[in-house]
Structure 1
Amino acid sequence: MPKTNLHPTWFTNTPILCDGKPLGLIGSTKPELQVDIWLANHPFYTKNQVMIDSEGRVERFMKKYGLNSTDQ
């Protein structure tokens, strides 16, 4: 005999929300999906990437190879 109630409930129109704004509808096993980053606010696609110099790596590289400026 197969087991009953084995599969989760399928929601056909699950809203995807980012900062409380609806992005679209998909099918999911959860009634609502919250996302932090999506295509319109992802730094790679919006060209807002910030280079973080942790532990002076860029300065050490520049000093090691005798370069004067980071803008070359």
Structure 2
Amino acid sequence: MKPDIHPDYHEIKVVMTDGTEYMTRSCHGKAGDVIRLDIDPKTHPAWTGVQRVMDTGGQIAKFNKKFASIGIRKG
């Protein structure tokens, strides 16, 4: 490997959404920095398999009204 071309690889602390912490190595920030996660595998639906549908402002109702006639065949 060539010297002086690679980023600094150091330990940082990662804080999960539930408060648990662990140390890992990364090129992010400086040695000893803390990363606080907003979304992690313990809370994100992609990993938990639990999804919440939030209908903000009636968007689902508006969608259903707009596309209600699709798929209905008149004979």
Which of the five TM-score ranges fits, normalised by the shorter chain?
0.5 to 0.7
In the superposition, the TM-score normalised over structure 1's length comes to 0.52
Structure-2 separation of matches of 1:49 and 1:25: 29
Segments of 4+ in structure 1 off by > 6 A?
none
Is the Cα contact below 8 Å between 1:16 and 1:35 reproduced in 2?
yes
- The runs of 5 or more residues in structure 2 that have no matched partner are 1-7, 70-75
Higher relative contact order (CA 8 A, sep 6+): 2
Residue identity over aligned pairs, in percent, reads: 25
Q: Unaligned 5+ residue runs, structure 1?
A: 1-9, 67-72
- Normalised to the residue count of structure 2, the TM-score between the two structures is 0.51
> How many corresponding residue pairs?
58
- Which has more strand, going by share of residues? 1
CA root-mean-square deviation: 2.7
Q: CA deviation at 1:20?
A: 2.9
